[in-house]
Amino acid sequence: MKPLAGYRAPYPGTQPNHLHPPYGPSLKRAPTQPLVQIPYTLSEITGPSFGSELVSTSAHDLTRQHHGEPLGERIVVSGRVLDENSRPLPNTLIEIWQANAAGRYQHEVDQHDAPLDPNFTGCGRVITDAEGRYRFVTIRPGEYPWRNHYNAWRPAHIHFSLFGPAFATRLVTQMFFPGDPLLPFDPIFNCIADEKARNRLISVFDWETTMPLHALGYRFDIVLRGREETPMEE
């Protein structure tokens, strides 16, 4: 059997450690023992796939899940999903969730006293097309306070969950907005040393996907891990 091509190790400084003391809850939840390095096997280079029949064609539009329109500023969030080898990743599931325009999640644990919006649940999903593209219509989420440290506020963000082609490529991340004054103070956004990598979590305003008289466009491209070169057979 020829050796399996694994997945590239992350570029230094671009992925967080489990323990990140400025983010309080990591203290009691990050492993204290070193992670065990293991070789890639068939178990890690395979992974679940999800057919388009699982995702309704309206699941990408978070502004049309109820009878009325949600409050807030409509936005279009779109982009491409690629791997580290610059190959587009078609047919991959993206799940998103977010707060409403007032900064409140439709979740029983969220005790922030901002109003809920009966016309906004805040979840969407889509499967990338043949070129790895995706597109959501939603409303711009509000910033909100949390209890990590004194007067802590999360910058506006949308949670993204992606699978990619393998167990090894699974990624959960957050998308931020350009010019958000809270970004320098957020221990989650600032969890890595590499400033350029951090800034890639910030979407960019995109005039081309902006819908005239309707919604501003933001572009957010996502890169999942790429395979090492497949060992050549002699």
Partner 1 sequence: MRLQATTSQTVGPFFKIGLRWLDRDSLAAEGVAGERVTIQGRVLEGDGSPVPDAVLEIWQANSHGKYAHPEDTQDKPLDLGFTGFGRVPTDKDGAFRFATVKPGPVPGPTGKDQAPHLVISIFMRGLLKRLTTRMYFPNDPRNASDPILEIVDPAWRSTLIASAAGGAGQLEWNVILQGSHETVFFDLGL
Active-site hit among 60, 104, 140, 157: 157
- Closer residue to partner 1 in complex, CB, 44/206: 44
Tokens of 153: 């506020």
Residues 218/204, Cβ–Cβ less than 8 Å: yes
CA 90-37-49 angle, to 5 degrees, is: 20
Q: In whole angstroms, give the CA distance from residue 6 to residue 12.
A: 18
Distance from C-alpha of 42 to C-alpha of 63, rounded to nearest angstrom: 41
> Which is catalytic among the residues 74, 135, 159, 170?
159
Compute the least distance from the CB of residue 25 to partner 1, in Å: 3
Active-site annotation holder among 7, 23, 134, 144: 144
Shortest separation between residue 209's beta carbon and partner 1, angstroms: 19
Q: Helix (H, G, I), strand (E, B), or coil: what is residue 75?
A: strand
Nearest residue (CB) to partner 1, 135 versus 170: 170
Q: Name the active-site residue from 105, 134, 140, 218.
A: 105
Active site residue 149: no
The residue behind tokens 């910033």 is 143
The answer to whether 214 is a known catalytic residue is no
Annotation says 125 is catalytic: no
Q: Is residue 80 annotated as a catalytic residue, yes or no? A: no
Residue 40 appears among annotated catalytic residues:
no
Nearest approach in angstroms of CB 136 to partner 1 is 12
How far apart are CB 105 and partner 1 at their closest, in Å? 4
- Looking at 78-159, list the stretches that DSSP marks H as alpha helix, in order from N- to C-terminal side: none
Active site (catalytic) residues: 105, 144, 154, 157, 159
